[in-house]
């Protein structure tokens, strides 16, 4: 049976490649004022958003709650349509558990409906690359239960590496200590971070200087990329398009067949990584 693919604004997908995916909105607050991000990354004013972060804007995010999933999933469940939702990592958000609660409730009420929640163990394009794979499986006529199995098996191969320009944003979210952030800033240390097999963000390298950090991301692509049919590569950035373009050039030098999509990094997780974030997402042999 065919199925409907769901993701949310954290998936970072431009509309031109997300038109077969139902995108759920994400809410966040800027200086106490609620903002709903619909997932339309093409019309997201990232420059203003990230400049605001630089200037001290306080951003607070909240998980997608069970009621939101019930509101979106119920019409499909009533019609007996199967659902696959690609969730942000359970290691960094409670959204996955909220979606599981909604799925269990609806499958009890509508037993003919199959709902599967994929824990992406990632965020940003770490969600998006899996949502696009779900679309590919749907187009190929793979039934929902087999697709769910294949997507879960694909999670460890959805590689995501990124660097940040200001360690203080990671300090605020507890990813690095205050001492580490201070020393790193003074010494111009740039961490190379990734989502591990449990969905937690950890450091896998440290380099000195922005240029070295961009080169380190490209090296990760060279070392880890999977030589498969799907050569899609995604780059997101926190308002640093020149660095994103440079990384794209390096990726294309490594693999001229790479199909690279570049766009602004979405606001929901963007508040945690800050302006200058530069991320690289691709299918890899392992995380």
Query: Residue 200 pLDDT more than 90?
Result: no
How far are the Cα atoms of 43, 120, 172, 189 from residue 181, in angstroms, in the given order?
32, 28, 10, 9
CATH topology (fold) of 158-283: Hypothetical Protein Tm841; Chain: A;domain 3 (3.30.1180)
pLDDT of residue 186: 46
Q: For 112-126, 161-175, 231-245, which range has the lowest pLDDT when averaged over its residues?
A: 161-175
Half-sphere exposure for 237 (CA within 13 Å, toward CB):
18
Looking at the chain, which residues constitute the CATH 3.30.1180.10 domain(s)? Answer: 158-283
pTM over 0.75: yes
pLDDT of residue 62: 86
Q: Count the neighbouring beta carbons within 10 Å of the beta carbon of residue 221.
A: 21
Note the pLDDT tens digit of each residue in 66-95.
999 999 999 999 999 999 999 999 988 899
Looking at the chain, which residues constitute the CATH 3.40.50.10170 domain(s)? Answer: 3-155
pLDDT of residue 194: 84
Domain 3-155 part of CATH 3.40.50.300: no
The Cα–Cα gap between 278 and 248 comes to 11
Residue-averaged pLDDT of the chain: 91
pLDDT of residue 170: 66
């Amino acid at each position: 049976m065919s199925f409907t693919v769901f993701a949310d604004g954290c998936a970072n997908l431009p509309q031109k490649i997300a038109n077969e995916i139902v995108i759920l909105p994400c809410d966040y607050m800027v200086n106490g004022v609620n903002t709903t991000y619909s997932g339309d990354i093409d019309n997201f004013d990232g420059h203003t958003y990230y400049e605001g972060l630089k200037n001290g804007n306080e951003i607070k995010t909240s998980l997608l709650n069970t009621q939101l999933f019930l509101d979106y999933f119920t019409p499909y469940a009533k019609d007996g349509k199967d659902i696959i939702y690609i969730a942000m990592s359970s290691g960094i958000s409670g959204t996955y558990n909220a979606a599981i609660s909604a799925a269990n409730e609806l499958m009890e009420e509508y037993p003919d409906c199959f709902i599967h929640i994929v824990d992406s163990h990632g965020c940003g394009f770490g969600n998006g690359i899996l949502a696009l794979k779900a679309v590919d499986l749907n187009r190929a006529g793979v039934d929902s239960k087999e697709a769910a199995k294949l997507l879960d098996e694909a999670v460890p191969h959805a590689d995501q590496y990124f660097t940040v320009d200001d360690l203080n944003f990671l300090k605020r979210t507890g990813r690095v200590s205050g001492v580490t952030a201070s020393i790193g800033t003074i010494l111009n240390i740039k961490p190379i971070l990734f989502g591990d097999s449990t969905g937690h963000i950890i450091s896998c390298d440290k380099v000195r200087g922005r240029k070295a950090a961009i080169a380190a991301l490209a090296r990760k692509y060279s070392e880890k990329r999977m030589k498969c049919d799907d050569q899609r590569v995604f780059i997101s950035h926190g308002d640093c398009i020149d660095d994103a373009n440079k990384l794209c050039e390096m990726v294309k030098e490594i693999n001229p067949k790479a199909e690279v999509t570049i766009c602004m990094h979405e606001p929901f997780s963007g508040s945690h990584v800050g302006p200058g974030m530069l991320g690289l997402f691709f299918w890899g042999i392992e995380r």
